[in-house]
Structure 1
Amino acid sequence: MDIHEKHETDLTRAERRQLEKEKLQSMDWKHKLGYIWDYYKPQIFGVIAIFAAIWFGFSWYENSKYETIMYAAVTDGYMNEDESEQMNREYKEFIGDQEKYHRVSIDTTVAIGSEDSQARYNATMKLNTIVAAGAVDVVIGSKEHVKDFVTQGAAENLSEVLSEEMQETYQDHIVDDKLFDLTGSTKIGNPLHVTADPVYLVILNIGERRNMPQNFWNI
């Protein structure tokens, strides 16, 4: 019997494929795309889901290899990808770290000075949360923002983390023993594009990597 005269339930898989092929050949491109989309939508989404799962799985696996050797939270600043990569590379070169999967995280998403009150609240809550969790080693921003950590007793005394030689070299930048003025720093202050002027840095005494930040402004 001619497959065109058969009932759909009596068709074999090969015959169904043959009929679909003939139907597609009789359509223009616009109708072909519409037919394929309507008929194969579940399969298309299934393929997309598989590729998405593979991509996310690979990304997660790659990111899981990285270890943050220093985390700096920057209030009201921004940094493009090239500047971030350059600062990360120069810091690692300075401390002699050649490990491929070590990285310096520069977080410029803390928009405490935003004109939007909700954005300010969210940024403040984020900063306080990650600091309390011990994830932040350095905070960079206006004196108003970094001074809070001094008041709370969370800022390291620079005389305890800097060598005498470094203290002498940077004596004009050390303010109230715990703040470091980044004015004139072309490798840190400028690339961070912080809206405040001057910009200060504090090393936190509650982080897990307290031995790393003291080299930050040397890059």
Structure 2
Amino acid sequence: MRIELKDENQEEPQKIDENDIRYKHETDLTKKEKRELEKMKLASMGWKGKLQYIWAYYKPQMAAIVAVIAIAFFVKDLYENSRIHTALTVMVIDSYGTKQEEAEEKVEKALGIQDDPYEIVTVDESLRTGEDGVALESYSQMAFTTKVSARAVDVLIGSEDYMDGFEFKDEYFMDLTELLPEDVYQVFGEQDDKYSITIDSDELAEELEVTYEPVKIGVLANSENVENAVKWLTKLAEELS
């Protein structure tokens, strides 16, 4: 009979604890045990391994979180934009427009809305006339027609040649003798027609950044901000008086 002697230096095989979650099949693990197992795996990894592990196993969750954050910012911006109201849009024909922001700030100050983030003024200086100075260039005419039809213009400012070129002024402009208080209208002096105001002022021409003088101002017949147009013209009359 052969008798084998036990080597005292030989390590005994490690017994597997069937209750140790490391040796359980994944399908046998509870949710709590799965979380504990993930923690153990992470604890044994370096920082690079942890990042790779997190990215591999939590990519869908991370993408969902990013998507939720993006949607939240989009909804917030949408809500904020919905609260913004254009108090007045002033269109200046043939302006070389390098101080548009300053012009808008001055109108906002005249309306008393300079500190209201939800009330804005737009000074549109994008339209140009042709060489004759009477009719708009084809692209500008298309843009003008579109904006007026959309009720996106309240006040129109142009040269005498351009403003007098409107054949049916009563279809485009309001009667300023009826729109403005009598004392305000009189400040502008005698006018050659009731649908626009002629102002001969170097200072105003400089503010509007136009090369023509005098300037003519009319209020569009379909303006949605008539009250603010009157308020601005009243402030302008005060400055000229």
- Fold match (TM-score > 0.5): yes
| Residues 67 and 103, structure 1, Cα contact 8 Å, conserved in 2 | yes
Instruction: Figure out how many residues of one structure are paired with residues of the other and give that number.
Output: 200
Identify unmatched segments of 5+ residues in structure 1: 114-119
Equivalent position of 1:129 in the other structure: 146
- The change in CA–CA distance for 1:148 and 1:112 in structure 2 (over 3 A counts) is farther
Equivalent position of 1:117 in the other structure: none
Equivalent position of 1:170 in the other structure: 188
1:39 aligns with 2:57: yes
- The offset of 1:7, in angstroms, is 3.0
- The change in CA–CA distance for 1:87 and 1:210 in structure 2 (over 3 A counts) is closer
- The change in CA–CA distance for 1:37 and 1:164 in structure 2 (over 3 A counts) is same
- The change in CA–CA distance for 1:17 and 1:124 in structure 2 (over 3 A counts) is farther
Of residues 214, 223, 234 in structure 2, which corresponds to 1:207?
A: 223
| Residues 68 and 105, structure 1, Cα contact 8 Å, conserved in 2 | yes
Higher relative contact order (CA 8 A, sep 6+): 1
1:92 aligns with 2:111: yes
CA RMSD of aligned residues (A): 4.5
- The offset of 1:206, in angstroms, is 1.7
Provide the rounded CA distance (Å) in 1 between the counterparts of 2:27 and 2:203: 80
Identity %: 30
1:11 aligns with 2:29: yes
Provide the rounded CA distance (Å) in 2 between the counterparts of 1:121 and 1:27: 69
Provide the rounded CA distance (Å) in 1 between the counterparts of 2:164 and 2:69: 47
TM-score normalised per structure 1: 0.61
Alignment of 1:49-198 (within 5 A): 49-73=67-91, 77=97, 79-80=100-101, 84=104, 87-88=107-108, 90-93=109-112, 103-106=119-122, 108=124, 111-112=126-127, 127-140=144-157, 143=159, 147=163, 150-151=166-167, 153=169, 154-171=172-189, 178=196, 180=198, 183-185=202-204, 190=207, 194=209, 196-198=210-212
- The change in CA–CA distance for 1:163 and 1:14 in structure 2 (over 3 A counts) is same
Provide the rounded CA distance (Å) in 2 between the counterparts of 1:86 and 1:55: 32
TM-score normalised per structure 2: 0.57
Max Rg structure: 2
| Residues 67 and 101, structure 1, Cα contact 8 Å, conserved in 2 | no
